[in-house]
């Protein structure tokens, strides 16, 4: 499986929006961390313009969509909450 580095552009209640080489992608909340987190955690972990790393789960060429996951890069559940830089 491939990983990509993308620019974090915005977050919503149900996930993050990122730009991967001009393709807008969303990382759903369930794919951010194995541990539960709050909106405040999202604000702490991610700043607009940050370069983040995610695992590519699926590619939809018809609709130009990517399925991405950060939580699959966690060595231990909750690593994103403790130290996001350790994950990417």
Q: What is the dihedral of CA 75, 46, 23, 34, to 10 degrees?
A: 30
State the pTM of this model.
0.83
**Contact residues for 10 (Cβ-Cβ < 8 A; gap 6+):** 16, 17, 48
Label residue 1 by pLDDT band (50, 70, 90): low
Nearest to 13 by CA among 26, 32, 31, 29: 29
Residue-level pLDDT at 36: 93
More confident residue, 15 or 78: 78
Q: Is 39 exposed, middle or buried (0-12, 13-18, 19+ CB in 10 A)?
A: exposed
What percent of the chain clears pLDDT 70, i.e. is strictly above it? 94
Q: Mean of the per-residue pLDDT values for the chain?
A: 86
- Whether 22 has a pLDDT exceeding 90, the answer reads no
More confident residue, 77 or 26: 77
Tell me if 23 sits within 8 A of 68, measured CB to CB.
Answer: no
């Amino acid at each position: 499986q491939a990983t990509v580095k993308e620019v974090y552009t915005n977050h919503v209640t149900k996930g993050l929006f990122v730009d991967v080489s001009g393709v807008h992608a969303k990382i759903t909340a369930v794919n951010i961390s194995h541990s539960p987190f709050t909106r405040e955690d999202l604000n702490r972990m991610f700043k607009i313009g940050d370069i983040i790393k995610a695992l590519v789960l699926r590619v939809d060429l018809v609709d130009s969509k990517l399925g991405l996951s950060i939580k699959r890069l966690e060595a231990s559940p909750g690593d994103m909450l403790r130290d996001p830089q350790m994950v990417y």
